[in-house]
Amino acid sequence: MALDSKVPKGPIKDKWTDYKNKINLVNPANKRHIDVIVVGTGLAGGSAAATLAELGYNVKAFAYQDSPRRAHSIAAQGGINAAKNYQGDGDSTYRLFYDTVKGGDYRSREANVYRLAEVSANIIDQCVAQGVPFARDYGGLLDNRSFGGVLVSRTFYAKGQTGQQLLLGAYSAMNRQIARGKIEMFNRHEMLDVVVVDGKARGIIARNLVTGEIERHSAHAVVVASGGYGNVYFLSTNAMGSNATAAWKIHKKGAYFANPCYTQIHPTCIPRSGDYQSKLTLMSESLRNDGRIWVPKNMDDVKAIREGRKKPTDLSEDERDYYLERRYPAFGNLVPRDVASRAAKERCDAGYGVNATGEAVYLDFASAIERYGKEQAKIHNIQNPSKEKITELGEKIVEAKYGNLFQMYEKIVDENPYKTPMMIYPATHYTMGGVWVDYNLMTTIPGCYCIGEANFSDHGANRLGASALMQGLADGYFVLPYTIGDYLADDIRTGKIPTDSPEFDEAEKAVKDRIDFFINNKGTKSVDYFHKRLGKVMWDKVGMARNEKGLNEAMAEIKAIREAFWKDVKVPGSANEMNPELEKAGRVADFLELGELFAKDALMREESCGGHFREESVEESGEQKGEAKRNDKDFAFVAAWEYKGDPADAVLHKEQLEFKDIELKQRSYK
């Protein structure tokens, strides 16, 4: 199948404007005759559902949570990027575009990224109008802070709760449309298959997670906004319920998958404490604005700290290695996430990790507290303040900026981060890969769209901090509502899509057969048993450092785990009730297929980029020890699965394609 990205001709800065001027539209009077299904109600899905309903379409929105307010978007902490240049520090649409493409190792689709940068400023205006309580400076203007990988301050934030506040804005817009009857909300429902009629997406099969009932829902178009697949690693910063099922089901029906191995490893997570942990907790990247990252210089100090004979505060400045400031003086602690993650892993692999597992570095706020304290003393005209007074004043400023994050850290680790440095370590966080989409955000299934983290288009091999919220809201508020009309303009006379067709019958039967298998299989192992085994293989052999031997081993091991899963998984309870283990079984079955595709993609990439590097290509020299060389390859891995009988016998068909619409040349990464 030939892929057509449908990127408009002409200069990149004019593409979106010219495209909107010529795109097909649906008359407002005709929109009321068209139905759209939106799967997922986080920032991308929630904003899309609200906007499509506001335009007049009839929307059915599906969330597996008990409320859209519990979507994983709520966990985003640090902020949202926008090229407003409120700080007057040189920001612009082009600079946001360039930083995003550069941060993604020049592997993004640039036309999509420039559009993202263009509409970013509109997102802030939209959210302020909704009442989102962004932080403000002393004069009452919207405040900005800096994030990794950039040299300007463009990140708008609401303390450490930005995702939650933005989601509440989208949720309020949704509620208005629910009250008007334009959105029909289906909470606690999970999409288990897409229905394709005459080559077009015309509905979904969903399971009511409370009653177990299997339902048919039809529409003229289906929008998947179900987030990322980071839980393929088992341990990640994602919510336990975050999964790949909706995206994977459309993939199985013909929607190509692109760049599955591009996974973001976030540098600022609370380290794991043992083998029985179920998830990891993210500390916002915004902490790197004021926190300094270091490990002890001397191995004797490392051992003393691990054994409890020394505290980190006992070490003088000369005894600390602020390795990011040393290696990357221009960016310091605000290097891109992939660089910070690899550097932390390199230091810990070299033996300098500071916790019991050897997998932690320090994030220290002592310098920031002292700096802010002295500044506040001057502002309040306090002459010759004591060290205690400076600390008191400084801690108040840090608390105002990051208080909820510090509180969360203390509850989890039982250490006061105001008095002793935080411990952090990289962890799986975000997925840049996902369902392949064209410029309209349509998949290779006509009428099936994919937005937000679930698609692949905007972040290349690594996402800049604070760009996830930007992409989700850009897709939902400002891009999809335009582009979907171009497709739906041909459906104004189609009428309601019936659900009593052979295609719906077949899809529902496949869903029920799979559920019956799980309930009736007489296995001996829990779903989590297999998920943990998969996660260990993924982290050890398909994680930050990869090599050909390990990837081939990983594929063989994942296949063996999958075969064992289908033979020996045990799912207690019944299908006609609320059954979390049944939900997990279906999701882990999808992860086991995705994991093998993930490893195949990584194997085919004989390159180092983003958060991952091929160990064969590492050249260590001087201060850059542990940094991987990059090459000029720029491609997407696109794959399609075809079922033949038992799910364990899935056959993989793959195609590797080079994008031809790259406009920037690959540059060496300095």
The pLDDT of residue 434 is 96
Determine the average pLDDT of the residues in 580-602: 97
How far, in Å, CA of 267 to CA of 331, rounded? 15
Which residues 6+ apart lie within 8 Å of 38 measured at CB?
Answer: 45, 48, 49, 52, 59, 60, 61, 62, 223, 225
Which pair of tokens denotes residue 585? 């079984």
The pLDDT of residue 616 is 62
Which pLDDT tens digit goes with each residue over 541-559? 999 889 999 999 999 999 9
- Residue for token digits 């009452």? 140
Q: Which helix (H) or strand (E) holds 218?
A: strand 214-218
The pLDDT of residue 650 is 34
Q: Which of 459, 148, 514 is nearest to 333 (CA)?
A: 148
- Residue for token digits 């410029």? 439
Q: Which helix (H) or strand (E) holds 238?
A: none
Give the 3-state secondary structure of residue 609. Answer: strand
The pLDDT of residue 611 is 75
Asked whether the predicted pLDDT for residue 468 surpasses 70, the reply is: yes
The pLDDT of residue 570 is 98
Q: Which residue has the higher pLDDT, 217 or 277?
A: 217
Q: Taking a C-beta distance cutoff of 8 angstroms, is the pair 201, 445 a contact?
A: yes
Q: Taking a C-beta distance cutoff of 8 angstroms, is the pair 340, 324 a contact?
A: yes
Which segments of 181-280 does DSSP mark as H helices, in order?
245-252
C-alpha of 189 from chain center: 22
Determine the average pLDDT of the residues in 623-648: 38
Which pLDDT tens digit goes with each residue over 73-128? 999 988 999 999 999 999 999 999 999 999 898 999 999 999 999 999 999 999 99
For 251-277, b/e burial (b = at least 16 CB within 10 A) is bbbbbbbbbbbbbbbbbbbbbbeeeee
The pLDDT of residue 662 is 32
Which pLDDT tens digit goes with each residue over 192-205? 999 999 999 999 99
Which pLDDT tens digit goes with each residue over 128-182? 999 999 999 888 999 999 887 888 999 999 988 999 999 999 999 999 999 999 9
Task: Output the CA–CA distances (angstroms, integers) from residue 389 to 92, 368, 369, 370, in the order listed.
Answer: 40, 14, 11, 10
Which residues 6+ apart lie within 8 Å of 588 measured at CB?
Answer: 527, 530, 531, 534, 565
Which pLDDT tens digit goes with each residue over 349-364? 999 999 988 999 999 9
Q: Which residue has the higher pLDDT, 631 or 442?
A: 442
Which pLDDT tens digit goes with each residue over 13-53? 999 999 999 999 999 999 999 999 999 999 999 999 999 99
Q: Which amino acid would we find at residue 250?
A: I
Q: Taking a C-beta distance cutoff of 8 angstroms, is the pair 508, 46 a contact?
A: no
Q: Which amino acid would we find at residue 136?
A: R
Which pair of tokens denotes residue 95? 């600079």
Which pLDDT tens digit goes with each residue over 328-384? 999 899 888 888 998 999 999 999 999 988 999 999 999 999 999 999 999 999 999
How far, in Å, CA of 372 to CA of 358, rounded? 32
Which pair of tokens denotes residue 513? 């057969």
How far, in Å, CA of 622 to CA of 554, rounded? 32
In sequence order, the β-bridge partners of residue 522 are none
In sequence order, the β-bridge partners of residue 427 are 266
Measured at the CA of 471, the angle between CA 470 and CA 474, to 5 degrees, comes to 85
Q: Taking a C-beta distance cutoff of 8 angstroms, is the pair 45, 454 a contact?
A: no
How far, in Å, CA of 449 to CA of 338, rounded? 29
- Eight-class DSSP state of 476: I
How far, in Å, CA of 248 to CA of 240, rounded? 18
First-residue to last-residue Cα distance in the chain = 38
Q: Which amino acid would we find at residue 296?
A: P
pLDDT band at 206 (very low <50, low <70, confident <90, very high): very high
pTM across the whole model: 0.88
